């Protein structure tokens, strides 16, 4: 399978002869094993994930919602539709679900999209019960790899200064090139680790 097919994207030929990474869709070929032994699958988000995004957001604790969205307001259906519809190029999202043979509930999402400041902003969330098992690291690596395959090599993220998990995740799994603290939010610029560095981060 081609690299761009890895997270559920199949390359198809445009009538004009160019290559597109639009649907049809497949699931990622291999499940990944988390720290608790559970098998999960990562794949590119699809428009029909909008209700699953809403359900995931409804299950999140207020703290996790705040850390992800910087507000306690839950997603509305219109927001979920926007988030579930990406162009798989400048806007990308990878979702994780438990590998139970069904297209079951989402347990994590990582996305990037252009930000107002001209950077490509990354945001991640993992369902509370699934945090601390390595899923955030897998999603982040998959997302940055997808970005790299599309020529995006520098990313940004805004993280609450008190959010130790997210700062630790980004500190261990990316190369941070700039860091600015403003009003309790850490603004980070970073790139993807090399394959060797990724293996070292996983092993340590």
Per CB under 6 A, residues contacting ligand COA are: 64, 67-68, 123-126, 131-137, 157, 159, 163-166, 168-169, 172
- Nearest CB to ligand COA, comparing residues 20 and 165: 165
CB of 20 to ligand COA, least distance (A): 29
- Nearest CB to ligand COA, comparing residues 73 and 164: 164
CB of 40 to ligand COA, least distance (A): 10
Q: Hey, is 132 helix, strand or coil?
A: coil
- Nearest CB to ligand COA, comparing residues 21 and 84: 84
Separation of alpha carbons 164 and 168, rounded Å: 6
Separation of alpha carbons 30 and 45, rounded Å: 17
Separation of alpha carbons 141 and 41, rounded Å: 14
CB of 135 to ligand COA, least distance (A): 4
- Nearest CB to ligand COA, comparing residues 22 and 164: 164
Separation of alpha carbons 125 and 94, rounded Å: 11
Output the 3-class SS for 49-105. Answer: HHHHHHHHHHHCCHHHHHHHHCCCCCCCHHHHHHHHCCCCCCCEEEEEEECCCCCCC
Angle between helices 50-59 and 77-84 (to 10 degrees): 120
CB of 5 to ligand COA, least distance (A): 24
- Nearest CB to ligand COA, comparing residues 21 and 67: 67
CB of 178 to ligand COA, least distance (A): 17
């Amino acid at each position: 399978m081609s690299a761009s097919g890895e997270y559920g994207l199949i390359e198809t030929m445009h009538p004009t002869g160019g290559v597109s990474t639009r649907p049809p869709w497949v699931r990622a070929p291999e499940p990944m094993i988390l720290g608790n032994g559970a098998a999960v699958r990562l794949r590119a988000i699809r428009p029909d994930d909008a209700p699953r995004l809403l359900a995931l957001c409804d299950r999140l604790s207020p703290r996790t919602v705040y850390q992800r969205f910087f507000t306690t307001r839950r997603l509305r259906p219109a927001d979920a539709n926007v988030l579930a519809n990406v162009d798989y190029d400048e806007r990308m999202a990878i979702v994780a679900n438990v590998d139970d043979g069904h297209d079951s509930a989402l347990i994590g999402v990582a996305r990037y999209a252009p930000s107002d400041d001209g950077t490509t902003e990354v945001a991640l969330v993992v369902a509370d019960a699934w945090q601390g098992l390595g899923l955030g690291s897998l999603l982040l690596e998959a997302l940055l790899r997808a970005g790299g395959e599309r020529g995006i090599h520098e990313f940004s993220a805004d993280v609450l200064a008190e959010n130790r998990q997210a700062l630790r995740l980004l500190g261990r799994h990316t190369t941070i090139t700039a860091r600015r603290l403003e009003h309790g939010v850490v603004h980070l610029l970073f790139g993807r680790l090399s394959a060797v560095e990724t293996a070292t981060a996983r092993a340590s």
